[in-house]
Structure 1
Amino acid sequence: MDVIVAARKYITKMIEESGPGMKVLMLDKETTGIVSIVFAQSEMLQQEVYLFERLDSDLPPDVMRHLKCIVFVRPTRDNVAKLARELRRPRYGYYYVYFSNVIAKADVKQLAEADENELVRDVQELYADYLAVGPHLFHLGMPSCSQGLAWTQPSLTRATQGLAAVLLSLKKCPVIRYQNSSEMARKLAESIRLTFTKEATLFSFRRAEPPPLLLILDRRDDSVTPLLNQWTYQAMVHELLTINNNRVSLAEVPNVPPELKEVVMSAEHDEFYAQNLFSNFGEIGQTIKSLMDEYQKKLQSQKKVESIADMKQFVEMYPQFKKMSGTVAKHVTVVGELSRLVDRHALLECSETEQELACHDEHQQSLQRIYRLLNSEKTRELDAVRLVMLYALRYETHSNNDINRLVDTLRRRGVDDKYTKLVYPMLDYGGARARGSDLFGDDDPVAVTKRFFKGVKGVDNIYTQHKPLLSRLLDDLLKGRLRETAYPYHSSSYSQPLRPVEVIVFMIGGVTYEESLAVHQVNSTVPGVRVLLGGTCLHNSRSFLDEVLTATQAAHALQARATRS
């Protein structure tokens, strides 16, 4: 179950089936991301793809009949209409048309009628309708998938299509379990089951025992994880700089050279990044130093060009040397900027308080630390708001909670109204009444005992104590202890909880890199088990707050209208 391998296989198939010769790849906005996240442009050039074009481009058309056109787009009505217009006035010699998901017969007929010049050589469905971030991680690029704390119909349709594409690309027809406390999870489970029935021929894979399992969860059950500062390399980059389809903008970094204003962070094409995705901040500093030492040794050796043999060796080694030079420059710049931001905004102190809120029940001590940080000039607006939200989620039901005064403190500090007005909606989104699980482990004697002993003995790293709810759910699932009342099967004949060896977890409302790390640890330590994690999008704290804002706005508007009437 490797989504990068599955997506690359489909894209390679498209390019190879068009045969030798110069090609143009025509994409839409979404498939541009799907392709670019798993294939480098240099790899495309090696396969004779010399031009990339957007189906929705407004640029004046150039007729290039000597090129073959590979079209890879999502099967939307808009794309079908634009492609039909292209076929009526063709600019390329031949067209090979691929859709990223199931295409309606009526849409195929519309394209056939538009192809008056009979230039379309092939039409196929290839199920790469998702963004493959890593071998075990994917998302659908759907920020803000709900309104009024419920699905919008377009979002439910897109989530169903994307998840179905993942299953088809991996050739899996799983048993479905879903979070019973979430109406959105129940609706998605039902929509996926109907897709299995409607597309029974596509999903007629050989049955495995035990069958693969699809577990559908709701972000609202764990609103703490996306609010925390992160301390592994990949997660820190996304939290502090933002990764967008493997690209990171460094344009705001002081004195950054022009060639580093945007860098690619891809584990598929950057060996150093692949080896250090899950390294913590302390480790990455040491690793960067080792990388620089190795680079300097090679630099010294390249200076000793004294003979023809030395020159020959230099020419042979130059591409590798240049690649290493680029890798060093990129990661030194990125890690340097992370260090600058951590120091400038006192993120270590903020993170320590966040971890205390997430993992310990020490009300007065936490409150004092929060007020101290809210009054510090170093603390960013975003970090101040996150601390208040974490406090609200933890102590919402505490008899002496200080939520109102903390919100007033944010206002007096001049924090943007967008954020101060989001503290109480956060409780609507992920508070005690919204959750179906015991997020803080207060009702679990085992969790309470572990927390007590952790407090007595101390921990190796106070900044990474927190484990996402997903870790506990996967542990229970793989041990056959996940309660069927809380996570029922959807239309399944199984009466006893299964212990699956292949699990696809899908999180409505987005996933995080901390949860990706949890899945990586399961895959690395539990023999014979493979877990794949996906979600509607991939969050850092800013995108998560936008998700909560969109999800709760409609609900609050309805409440306000009801109050006025």
Structure 2
Amino acid sequence: MNVIQAVKLYISKMIEDSGPGMKVLLMDQETISFVSMVYAQSEILQKEVYLFELIGNRNRETMKHLRAICFLRPTPENIDLLKRELTIPKYGVYFIYFSNVISKSEIKGLAEADAQEVVREVQEFYGDYLAISPHAFSLGIPNCSRHSNWKPALLSRACEGLTAVLLSLKKCPMIRYQNSSEMAKKLAETIKQTIARDTSLFDFRRTDVSPLLLILDRRSDAVTPLLNQWTYQAMVHELLGIKNNRIDLSNVPGISKELQEVVLSSEQDEFYSQNLYNNFGEIGSKIKELMDEFQKKSQSNKKIESIADMKSFVENYPQFKKMSGTVAKHVTVVGELSRIVNLYNLLEVSEVEQELACQSDHNEALKRIKELLSKDKLRPLDACRLVGLYGLRYENHSNSNFVGLMDSLRKRGVSEEDRQMVRRVVEYGGGRSRSGADLFGQENTISKTKRFFKGLKGVENIYTQHTPQVHDTLDQLLKGKLREGAYPYVGSSQLKERPQDVIVFIIGGITYEEILAIYNLNKATPGVKIIIGGSTVHNFQSFQAEIASGTKM
């Protein structure tokens, strides 16, 4: 099970099946994102694809010498645009691929529009999602709930995206869901109905142990998206934001024009691939190694004293140039992360966050939060997340001082809107939303451990105690201890053995901390393959928007 490989195979097959000759790739805004997650533009250019166009762009030139590969979501809007395209075709021939199931009536409508008979092929290729890493995906649909219920259009989109994942991986799973979540139950039932309706599509070779789809709700763990992060990929998303592998650095002081937007892709950047799960201190050491290697190479390349030296330089130049770009990119990103960490005192903030998530000393936690709230360097955003974490952790504590901390936020000048958001956090992920499940109980006995990191000045210690709840849920599942009352099956069939292929989906979004947890679980559990997906991928700011959408205030 590898979602990047699955989407890549579809795209390669589209290009190969269209035959030799110059091609244009005609896409919509969403399929552009699906493709860019797994392929660099330069890679596709090597496959005779010379032009990338949006189906909705009416100002495209007519180029009859080009073959058009259309990769589109089967939405009513795209179907209409395609009919218009086929009525007055701009290209010689068309190979049409939809990222999900298309109805017979829609195919009939396309056939009627194809009066000039330019269409050579129409197929369904189920790359209808964003492949983040081999074991993680997103549907790119934030803010999917309203008052703890699905927004109807987004329930359909979630079902389409998840069934596309199953079809691309060739899995027909049993389905379990979080019983405390109406949204999880609704999605599980909708997917079951879809599989029953399209049985021929899901007619894959049976395995000894059926795969399992487990549907969870973000509300059962509102703590994980509130925490600052300290591994490279998660930290970049938390502090800078990752959107379809792209990072906007245009607001970085003194940034050069070519580095205002950079791409961080584990498929296309070897350094990033090797270090995305390393912690901040280790990244500092690795960057220094990269710099040393670059300096060594650049100095040796200056000694061009013969034709042989020139030849050697030319042969090595592409790699040299590529390495130069990699060094500049990662030095810039890590430098900006370091600046933000120091500017806003995030090490101390993170220590207190981890204590709130993993310890049970109420008085000490309250004292540390009050100390931080008195400091000028603390961002309003971090002040809110600390009080939100406190509200979740000590919601039912007899000496809870949540009201007092909320007043401290007011005195700090935190806006009414932001203070309202803190209350929403507790409503969204509090005990009632979790149906009484104890999010913190298992971690109360964990001793406080500091890890010391070397390699980046200013990074002395980082707390990494917290484990996302999804890790514990899957651990219980793999041990056969996940209670059926809390996580029932859809239908009467049940797994008798430990599942070998598990696809987890979290309604309301996943985090890079959870993606790392699944990566570690896969490494620690030979014979089991787990993939995690979510409606979107959160940092704290996007999670705030999710909460605002899903709560009643």
Give the TM bin, normalised by the shorter chain. Answer: over 0.9
Match of 1:20 in 2: 20
Deviations 1:142-176 (A, max 9, x none): 00011111001111100000000000000000111
Secondary structure, aligned partner of 2:323: helix
Match of 1:433 in 2: 432
| Worse-superposed segment, 13-22 or 130-139 | 13-22
Give the TM-score, by structure 1 length. 0.94
Match of 1:6 in 2: 6
Classify 1:304/1:201 alpha carbon distance in 2 versus 1 (closer, same or farther; 3 Å): same
Classify 1:143/1:49 alpha carbon distance in 2 versus 1 (closer, same or farther; 3 Å): same
Between the aligned partners of 1:301 and 1:67, the Cα distance in structure 2 is: 46
Between the aligned partners of 1:423 and 1:196, the Cα distance in structure 2 is: 40
Q: Is the 8 A contact 2:230 2:462 kept in 1?
A: no
Match of 2:457 in 1: none
Match of 1:39 in 2: 39
**1:235 is aligned to 2:244:** no
Deviation at 1:437, TM superposition (A): 6.4
Deviation at 1:440, TM superposition (A): 3.5
Q: Is the 8 A contact 1:175 1:492 kept in 2?
A: no
Q: Is the 8 A contact 1:96 1:123 kept in 2?
A: yes
**1:406 is aligned to 2:405:** yes
| Worse-superposed segment, 130-139 or 207-216 | 207-216
| Worse-superposed segment, 399-408 or 149-158 | 399-408
Match of 1:286 in 2: 285
Match of 1:467 in 2: 467
Deviation at 1:492, TM superposition (A): 3.3
Between the aligned partners of 1:419 and 1:155, the Cα distance in structure 2 is: 27
Match of 1:261 in 2: 260
Instruction: Show structure 1 runs of 5+ residues with no match.
Output: 557-565
1:325-340 mapped onto 2 (5 Å cutoff): 325-340=324-339
Instruction: Name the aligned partner's letter for residue 128 of structure 2.
Output: D
Between the aligned partners of 1:468 and 1:535, the Cα distance in structure 2 is: 14
Give the TM-score, by structure 2 length. 0.96
Secondary structure, aligned partner of 2:69: strand
Instruction: Name the aligned partner's letter for residue 393 of structure 2.
Output: R
Q: Is the 8 A contact 2:357 2:440 kept in 1?
A: no
Classify 1:190/1:85 alpha carbon distance in 2 versus 1 (closer, same or farther; 3 Å): same
Match of 1:560 in 2: none
Deviation at 1:64, TM superposition (A): 1.1
Q: Is the 8 A contact 1:221 1:437 kept in 2?
A: no
Deviation at 1:67, TM superposition (A): 1.0
Instruction: Name the aligned partner's letter for residue 168 of structure 2.
Output: S
Identity in percent: 59
Between the aligned partners of 2:256 and 2:495, the Cα distance in structure 1 is: 62
Between the aligned partners of 1:279 and 1:198, the Cα distance in structure 2 is: 44
Instruction: Name the aligned partner's letter for residue 147 of structure 2.
Output: G
Between the aligned partners of 1:439 and 1:48, the Cα distance in structure 2 is: 56
Instruction: Show structure 2 runs of 5+ residues with no match.
Output: 453-460
Secondary structure, aligned partner of 2:332: helix
Deviations 1:173-222 (A, max 9, x none): 01111101111010111001001101100001111121111110000000
Match of 1:73 in 2: 72
Between the aligned partners of 1:350 and 1:61, the Cα distance in structure 2 is: 52
Between the aligned partners of 1:315 and 1:242, the Cα distance in structure 2 is: 37
Match of 1:321 in 2: 320
Between the aligned partners of 1:81 and 1:440, the Cα distance in structure 2 is: 48
Secondary structure, aligned partner of 1:421: helix
Q: Is the 8 A contact 1:395 1:401 kept in 2?
A: yes
- 4+ residue runs over 4 A deviation: 457-462
Deviations 1:263-321 (A, max 9, x none): 00000010000000100011110111111111111111101111111110000000000
Between the aligned partners of 1:244 and 1:354, the Cα distance in structure 2 is: 26
Instruction: Name the aligned partner's letter for residue 505 of structure 1.
Output: V
Match of 1:538 in 2: 537
Deviation at 1:412, TM superposition (A): 2.5
Secondary structure, aligned partner of 2:176: strand
Deviations 1:399-445 (A, max 9, x none): 22121222222222222333211122222211001004644342x5x
Between the aligned partners of 1:133 and 1:416, the Cα distance in structure 2 is: 35
1:99-118 mapped onto 2 (5 Å cutoff): 99-118=98-117
Deviation at 1:495, TM superposition (A): 7.1
Secondary structure, aligned partner of 2:186: helix
Q: Is the 8 A contact 1:358 1:440 kept in 2?
A: no
Deviation at 1:97, TM superposition (A): 0.7
Q: Is the 8 A contact 1:226 1:512 kept in 2?
A: yes
Between the aligned partners of 2:325 and 2:152, the Cα distance in structure 1 is: 45
Q: Is the 8 A contact 2:179 2:486 kept in 1?
A: yes
Q: Is the 8 A contact 2:143 2:549 kept in 1?
A: yes
Deviation at 1:462, TM superposition (A): 4.8
Between the aligned partners of 1:491 and 1:367, the Cα distance in structure 2 is: 47
Deviations 1:105-124 (A, max 9, x none): 11111111111111111100
Between the aligned partners of 2:534 and 2:23, the Cα distance in structure 1 is: 33
Match of 1:424 in 2: 423
1:201-220 mapped onto 2 (5 Å cutoff): 201-220=200-219
Q: Is the 8 A contact 1:353 1:370 kept in 2?
A: yes
Deviation at 1:493, TM superposition (A): 2.3
Deviations 1:514-551 (A, max 9, x none): 00010000111211111000010011110001000011
Match of 2:458 in 1: none
Match of 2:271 in 1: 272
Between the aligned partners of 1:140 and 1:328, the Cα distance in structure 2 is: 32
Match of 2:300 in 1: 301
In the alignment of these two chains, the number of paired residues is 545
CA RMSD of aligned residues (A): 1.3
Deviations 1:353-409 (A, max 9, x none): 000100011112111211222221111111111001000000111122121222222
Secondary structure, aligned partner of 1:550: helix
Q: Is the 8 A contact 2:159 2:190 kept in 1?
A: yes
Between the aligned partners of 2:463 and 2:106, the Cα distance in structure 1 is: 53
